[in-house]
A and B are shown apart, each in its own frame.
Chain A
């Protein structure tokens, strides 16, 4: 499932096509395509985004702020940040390790391993939550042992973290694997010949080459971690002030018909999404720049 989430390094060179007779359409066709495409974009993307903010402020600033400083909202923010703060570093270490093993060495079953890493992309988030209920839930594998020892995983914070790690598992690895494969291993070999040891090779040679891809993966992981709903919903138990993340808090408010409050909290998440997109674009821009340099030096 990586195809659509990996870094996009293309430039905007529409002029390349537009100014030539052989690669451009008649104005009628062009404007029709443009009109349809932009209508589709507006109806399905732009309007929902605007709706979030309009609904959030429908009852004015006061209601908006009240909804955000509500203790339950604040505890949801905390929990959301915690889930992201745990899953991002965990999946970062995994992503780097997996990409290193896959991109720099030859071994049997490599392709299969890549497919396995992709798995969480194609598993429904609901199932991602379910699996942890089956293992740690009251009737699960470790259920009675956990109860005996008074450890709570399901309907508690650890379950939420686990589910979040599961759904955000592949992002960084899938970003780094193709990137590191494309870069080959000549530079690393050169470093070793020059006497560099394990960490030195990674730190001085590999890391500077993959930093933009790494950051891109981190941003995606973070966005997904903070926004995950389905998986977390299954393991959370919806205990207010304790096991509610921001998206779950939105759901509760919405189901209690506190629409403005729900949209106020939602607008916070939407803002996060927009910030994510801005950073993502900036990273892509930086990466494209360093990629171009690489291309020059390869020619």
Chain B
């Protein structure tokens, strides 16, 4: 074989990949591994004791429960909103469409105090809800409201492009074969949307579980009642209980990894189902 020098046609592979890996390791991977290394300093019994303490377990229930519910609410109403944005014309549609991304752009602390102002006892919405006996601010319901807010764009923005790409011929074919409008939705449109809808749901859920800023203002943070897991980590840190904070963080991290893998799978499914690259 001739002594051929190997080269790549396009330049910069070693440079860019090396930089990517270095930067990624230094900023993300090594710091994240600190959480696990710190956790390994604890013995198992102590670890279990910390992460299963009743107050901590109560935060899991709230964080995961409220996040699931918020994601579900977003799945239903987000789908309707996406549908309205793609299928109907109405005045102010462009503004509505643009504002859907507000929770991405609005700092969470701002969202937190704004929601609190709305839902407090004397707030715009809170005063009416109070009359019918519903308390939102400083209850688990408040947590739910904040999580719906921050998760709102995810379902809309994952479903919307799929809806837009939908070929009208599909529905026309269904109609020509005698399907009712609801049957067409149920059997033709919905199955196409499902992977994207689930992806949006999972994204909203993942975001909600880790959310901190928008929740703490409206939650009231009562132990066993309206305390979320990320707050638990902060509380431990403020008490200089680094091990405790780290143990809980590692539980959340593992959960995040699993969720990330599921989301990746769902996105691959969406791409396959719809032939979209993204």
Contacts and interface: CB of A to CB of B under 8 A. Distances in A.
Q: Do chains A and B touch in the complex (CB under 8 A)?
A: yes
A45 B270 CA distance: 27
Contact of A44 (B84, B148, B196, B207): B148
Contacts of B242: 133-134, 137, 139
A126 B210 contact: yes
Contacts of A122: 206, 210, 256-257, 259-260, 263
Given A33-B80, A123-B256, A230-B230, A14 B87 contact: yes
A130 B35 contact: yes
B110 A17 contact: no
B20 A94 contact: yes
A110 B263 CA distance: 17
Interface in A95-153: 97-98, 100-102, 104-105, 107, 113, 115-127, 130-135, 137, 139-141
A17 B203 contact: no
Interface residues on A, range: 35 or more
Interface string A178-220: 1001100100110010000110011000000000000000001
A226 B107 contact: yes
Contacts of B38: 134
Given A20-B168, A135-B31, A26 B278 contact: no
A230 B257 CA distance: 19
B278 A3 contact: yes
Contact of A116 (B29, B30, B88): B29
A227 B107 contact: yes
B172 A277 contact: no
A3 B99 contact: no
A107 to B, nearest CB: 7
Contacts of A220: 104
B17 A277 contact: no
Contact of A182 (B113, B152, B206, B277): B277
Given A12-B89, A123-B256, 9 more contacts: A36-B77, A41-B100, A51-B124, A94-B19, A122-B256, A124-B230, A230-B108, A250-B107, A277-B99
13 contacts: A3-B278, A44-B149, A49-B106, A98-B24, A162-B27, A169-B27, A169-B28, A227-B109, A247-B108, A250-B113, A273-B106, A273-B110, A280-B98
Interface of B: 8-13, 15-17, 19-21, 23-24, 27-32, 34-35, 38, 77, 80-81, 83-84, 86-90, 93-94, 96-111, 113-115, 117-118, 123-125, 145, 148-149, 152-154, 157-158, 160-161, 164-165, 168, 171-172, 174-176, 181, 196, 199-200, 203, 206-207, 209-213, 217, 230-231, 233-234, 237, 242, 245-246, 249, 252-253, 256-257, 259-261, 263-264, 267, 270, 277-278
